[in-house]
Amino acid sequence: MKKILEYVKPYWGRISIGLVIKVIGTLMDLAIPYVLSYIVDHLLEKGDIQLIFLFGGIMIVFAIIGVTFNVIANRMASRVARDVTNHLRHDLFQKIESLSSAQVDEVTMPSLISRMSSDTYNIHQMVGMMQRLGVRAPILLIGGIIVTLTLDPILTLILLATLPFIVLVVYLVSKAGIPLFTKVQLAIDDMVRTIRENVSGIRVIKALSKAEYEKDRFEKVNKDVMKYELKSGYTMAKSSPLINVFLNIGLVGVIVLGAYRVNQGIIKVGVIISFTTYFTMILNAMLSITRIFVIYSRSSASAARIQYVFNLPKDLQKEEGHPIKQDEGYITFDHVTFSYNKKRNNLEDIHFSLEKGKSLGIIGATGSGKTTIVQLLMRFYDIDQGSIRIDGVDIRSFDIQELRKKFGVVFQNDTIFTDTIYENIHFSRDLSLEDITNATEVAQAKEFISKEPEGIQTLLTPKGTNISGGQKQRLFIARALANHPDILILDDASSALDYKTDAKLRRDLKEHFSTTTQIIVAQRISSIMNCDAILVIDEGHMIGYGTHEELLKTVDIYQEIYRSQMGGTLS
pLDDT band at 244 (very low <50, low <70, confident <90, very high): confident
Between 269-311 and 120-151, two packed helices, what is the crossing angle to 10 degrees?
150
Question: Coil, helix or strand for 520?
Answer: strand
CA distance 507 to 435: 19
Domains of the chain, first to last = 2-196+226-311 (1.20.1560.10)
Is 39 a residue whose pLDDT tops 70? yes
Is 547 a residue whose pLDDT tops 80? yes
Q: Which of 50 and 394 is assigned the larger pLDDT?
A: 394
Q: In the prediction, which pLDDT does 200 show?
A: 67
Contact 335, 122 (CB under 8 A): no
pLDDT in tens, 490-545: 988 877 788 888 888 888 888 888 899 999 998 888 888 889 999 999 999 999 99
CA dihedral over 257, 263, 265, 270, signed as positive or negative: positive
- Mean pLDDT along residues 398-405: 91
Count of other CB atoms within 10 angstroms of residue 342:
9
Q: In the prediction, which pLDDT does 570 show?
A: 55
- Which range (60-69, 114-123, 170-179) has the least confidence? 170-179
CA distance 562 to 57: 97
CA distance 89 to 42: 57
Q: How many residues can be counted in the chain?
A: 571
Beta pairing, strands 359-364 & 533-538: parallel
Buried b (16+ CB within 10 A) or exposed e, 234-272: ebbeebbebbbebbeebbebbbeebeebeeeeebbebbb
- Which range (39-43, 110-114, 336-340, 352-356) has the least confidence? 39-43
pLDDT band at 330 (very low <50, low <70, confident <90, very high): very high
Q: In the prediction, which pLDDT does 130 show?
A: 87
Is 42 a residue whose pLDDT tops 80? no
pLDDT in tens, 194-236: 887 777 677 677 776 778 888 888 888 888 888 888 887 777 7
Q: In the prediction, which pLDDT does 334 show?
A: 93
Question: Coil, helix or strand for 10?
Answer: helix
pLDDT in tens, 247-279: 778 778 877 887 888 777 777 777 777 777 887
pLDDT in tens, 164-191: 887 788 778 777 776 777 788 778 888 8
pLDDT band at 568 (very low <50, low <70, confident <90, very high): low
Is 379 a residue whose pLDDT tops 90? yes
pTM for the model stands at 0.75
The secondary structure of residue 240, as a DSSP letter, is H
Contact 124, 81 (CB under 8 A): yes
Beta pairing, strands 533-538 & 331-338: unpaired
Q: In the prediction, which pLDDT does 71 show?
A: 92
Q: In the prediction, which pLDDT does 254 show?
A: 76
Is 147 a residue whose pLDDT tops 60? yes
Max CA separation in the chain (angstroms): 123
- Mean pLDDT along residues 433-440: 91
Between 49-98 and 12-38, two packed helices, what is the crossing angle to 10 degrees?
160
Count of other CB atoms within 10 angstroms of residue 357:
14
For the chain, give the mean pLDDT: 86
Contact 238, 174 (CB under 8 A): no
Spell out where 365-450 has E strands. Answer: 385-390, 393-394, 407-410
Count of other CB atoms within 10 angstroms of residue 354:
24
Taking alpha carbons only, the member of 289, 299, 484, 515 closest to residue 405 is 484
Q: In the prediction, which pLDDT does 488 show?
A: 94
Buried b (16+ CB within 10 A) or exposed e, 515-546: ebbbbbbbbbbebbbbbebbbbbbebebbbbb
